Amino acid sequence: MIVILFAATLSVYAASLNSTPIQEHEYWQLVQSSRAAISNLDGLSNEETKKSLAELALQWEAVTEVNMSGQIIPMDNGWLIKLLRADEPNLKQIDGLLNTLLTAHEKQVARIPSTSSLDPLHTILARPEFTWAEPVPNPLNEWYQKILDALSKFLDRILGGNPLSVSVSTTTLSAIAAILLIVVLIFVFRNLYGDLIKEAQLNGEEDGSNEPLTSEAAFDKAQTLSRGGDYRSAVRYLYLSSLLLMDERGVLRYDRSKTNREYLRSVSNSPELSKSLGEVIEVFDNVWYGYHPLAEETFKQYSDRVEELKEKKS
């Protein structure tokens, strides 16, 4: 009986577009108030009873949707409205139906556990044996898995439904992926080690292990490096040539411990020179520290800018 009543109540019908969904608790308040109103009709005349039932029918007609925890449920209360507007209303039947709804609702609420009933569970889960730190992601494992996935997709694409694809075991794929990962690591470390070698060589030349550089010697070396395609190192020597030239002219004092900002501050009294040096420093920082690629044409423009800087006076 309860299942039939709920099925009838929650049947999906076209709801009125002008209606506003009521909250779930408001729906059950209406059920309770309707049952109380039915109980108070005993002893009234037939005309007064029909008038009260008609008012209840209007209230139930207005309920077309119910908001249940954010979900809008269409309602069809036609079964109840029909009973309320019957020529010979059966108050006992109406009261019984409303009472059945309320009883089912109370049983449903009683089955919902309270938050306090979960306290023992929280206490148990707080024990050390149930708590552990989240594992820190391992970049090597992630790279290895990406290579393994890419290799598996590649084999599936070229073999497709070929039975040979089944014969490629997980062990074989793992071995190939491990080899590829080793090759990638060797390539990365080789490039990193090569950059460190170049850095050490350049620092050694500035430290005075060789003959001290002059602005002209640094400029010539930059041109030699550019002809060999090493524009990154060439940019560094062009920048060094600029600083050495201004040191030779007494504009600033070249010191490896100084930062680029300190060099700019030392020529701040000459706005034109400061602007030109700032542009040279900006390109140097982007190429040397930012590892931005530099094409031959861009290097020539940078070289011309350094030549212009040489022509400027403090």
- State whether 225 and 273 are in the same domain: yes
Look at the chain and report how many structural domains it folds into: 3
- State whether 196 and 300 are in the same domain: no
* pLDDT confidence tier of residue 206, bands split at 50, 70 and 90: very low
- State whether 57 and 93 are in the same domain: yes
Query: Per the domain annotation, does 295 fall within a domain?
Result: yes
Answer with the residue of higher pLDDT: 31 or 110.
Answer: 31
pLDDT in tens, 269-290: 888 888 888 888 888 888 888 8
Task: Using the 3D structure, point to which of 88, 116, 144 is the last residue of a domain.
Answer: 116
* pLDDT confidence tier of residue 182, bands split at 50, 70 and 90: confident
- State whether 167 and 178 are in the same domain: yes
Map residue 71 onto helix, strand or coil.
strand
Q: Which residues of 66-102 are buried (b: 16+ CB within 10 A; e: fewer)?
A: bbeeeeebebbbeebbebbeeeebeeeebbebbeebe
- State whether 193 and 299 are in the same domain: no
Query: Per the domain annotation, does 151 fall within a domain?
Result: no
What's the whole-number average pLDDT of the chain? 75
- State whether 23 and 105 are in the same domain: yes
Bridge-based pairing state of the strands 71-74 and 22-23: unpaired
- State whether 170 and 192 are in the same domain: yes
The enclosing domain of 297 has a CATH number of: 1.20.120
- Determine the pLDDT at residue 7: 34
Domain extent, residue 296, equals 213-311
> How many percent of the chain have pLDDT more than 70?
71
Task: Using the 3D structure, point to which of 61, 86, 116 is the last residue of a domain.
Answer: 116
Read off φ and ψ for residue 23, nearest 5 degrees. -75, 160
- State whether 104 and 14 are in the same domain: yes
For the chain, report the end-to-end CA distance as a whole number of angstroms: 101
- State whether 31 and 47 are in the same domain: yes
Task: Using the 3D structure, point to which of 81, 116, 151 is the last residue of a domain.
Answer: 116
Query: Per the domain annotation, does 131 fall within a domain?
Result: no
Query: Per the domain annotation, does 186 fall within a domain?
Result: yes
Note the pTM of the prediction, 2 decimals: 0.35
Residue bearing tokens 């070229």: 158
Contacts 24+ apart (CB under 8 A), 133-140: 140/181
For the chain, the maximum distance between any two Cα atoms, rounded to a whole number of angstroms, is 123
Query: Per the domain annotation, does 292 fall within a domain?
Result: yes
Query: Per the domain annotation, does 109 fall within a domain?
Result: yes
Residues constituting the chain: 314
Query: Per the domain annotation, does 145 fall within a domain?
Result: no
Query: Per the domain annotation, does 140 fall within a domain?
Result: no
Q: Which of 34-38, 60-64, 193-197, 210-214 has the lowest mean pLDDT?
A: 193-197
- State whether 181 and 240 are in the same domain: no
Q: Which of 140-154, 236-250, 293-307 has the lowest mean pLDDT?
A: 140-154
- State whether 105 and 24 are in the same domain: yes
- State whether 82 and 183 are in the same domain: no
